[in-house]
Amino acid sequence: MSRGNLPDLDDLSLLAAVAGTGSVGRAAAQHGISQPAASMRLRAMERRYRLTLLHRSPTGSALTTEGAAILDWARPMLDAAESFSRGVAALRDRHRDRLRLAASLTVADHLVPAWLVALHTVQPDLAVSLRVGNSDEVADLVRAGSVDLGFVEGATAPEGLRSRTVGQDELAVVVAAGHRWSRRRRGISPAELAGTPLVLREEGSGTREALEHALARHGLTPEVAVEVGATTAIKAAVTAGRGPSVLSRLAVGAELADGRLVAVPVVDLDLRRRFRAVWRAGRMPPPPAATMLAVALRTASPPR
C-alpha cells in the first residue's frame, strides 16, 4: 500500500461511531466536532478510497457493503491504537510523582487543604491521593506502607513510627446554648466533666485519646452517652441538647461564633494536643512526602 493510502485512525474511529450510532451527528458529538466537519472528513475518506462507505438518508446513516468491509479491517487497528494509548499513559503515569497521604479528620478538614495549595505551587505536577480516618486508622495505614505520610492528632505519638510536630490544637468542652453549663462563668471541674455522659468520637480518634489522656492525669475516665464517628454529627447532637461534647476548637469555631454552641471552661484540665506527621520507622519519607512535610512544618507553631 502506498503511503497515501495509509488509513487515518481518527477517520476510521469516526466511521465506527457512525456505524454504532446510526447518525453522523451523534458520531460527531462523540468525537467533539461539528456535524459538518464530520461529514467533510467522511466524504474525504470516500474520495481517498474511491468507495461509497455510507448510505445517507434524512433519518440517519448506515454503512454500505464496502463501508462494513473497511470497518471490519479497521477494528484490529483501532483496538491496537487503544492499547497503545493506554500503554503510553501507563508509562507516563509511572514516571509521574505520586504522593499517598492519610490524615485524621480534624487535620484533613482544617489543615490539609491549605497545605495542598502550598504544595501545588512547588510541585504542580504531583498527583496526590488523600485517605481520611481516625488517628489509629491513619497510623495503621502508615505502618502497612499503604500511604507515604500520615497526619494524626493526640496527646502522644503513635508507637513504632517516626513523627514530627506540625501544629497544635486545643479541645473545648461545648454545650448547647441553653445547657445549664452555658452559664457557668467559673467553669466546671474535671470530676464534673468525667461524671457527665458525653457525646464523643469513637475509640481510636485523636480527640477521644487526648481527652482520656487529660482526665487520666486526675485519675478519671470519661462517661460516654453517645459514640459518633463524625464531627458534624456530634455537633448536631450537642446543638439538639443530647449532651456536652469535647471537640477541637478548629472544628467548632463557626458554631461558637454564632452562638449555636458555648464553650465551657474546665478548671485545671490541660486539653492541648499536638498534630503530628508520621512515617515508617527506619526510613526517610520519599521525596514527594518530604516536600509535603516541609510545607506542613513551615506553618507549624512551637508547642506551648
Each residue's pLDDT tens digit, 72-116? 998 888 888 888 887 776 666 554 578 999 999 999 999 999 999
Read off the C-alpha cell for 26: 451523534
Q: Do 99-297 and 3-94 have the same topology in CATH?
A: no
Encoded amino acid at 11, one letter: D
Q: Is 84 helix (H, G, I), strand (E, B) or coil?
A: helix
pLDDT of residue 4: 53
Whether the CB-CB separation of 74 and 10 falls below 8 Å is answered with no
Residue 203 has pLDDT above 80, yes or no: yes
Read off the C-alpha cell for 179: 445547657
Residue 8 has pLDDT above 90, yes or no: no
The backbone region for 233, taken as left when phi is positive above 0, alpha when psi lies in -120 to 50, beta otherwise, is: alpha
pLDDT of residue 60: 87
pLDDT, tens only, 127-138:
999 999 999 999
Q: Is 136 helix (H, G, I), strand (E, B) or coil?
A: helix
| Average pLDDT value over all residues in the chain | 90
Encoded amino acid at 283, one letter: R
pLDDT, tens only, 12-48:
899 999 999 999 989 889 888 999 998 999 999 889 8
pLDDT, tens only, 136-191:
999 999 999 999 999 999 888 899 999 999 999 999 999 999 999 998 888 999 99
Spatial separation of the C-alpha atoms in residues 123 and 222, rounded to whole Å: 44
pLDDT of residue 235: 95
- Which CATH fold would you assign to the domain 3-94? Arc Repressor Mutant, subunit A (1.10.10)
Residue 303 has pLDDT above 60, yes or no: no
Q: Answer yes or no: CATH 3.40.190.290 is held by domain 99-297.
A: yes
Domain range list for the chain: 3-94, 99-297
pLDDT, tens only, 240-273:
999 999 999 999 999 999 999 999 999 999 999 9
pTM of the model: 0.65
Q: 2: pLDDT confidence band, cut at 50, 70 and 90?
A: very low
Q: At CA 252, angle to CA 246 and CA 256, rounded to 5?
A: 105
Residue 119 has pLDDT above 50, yes or no: yes
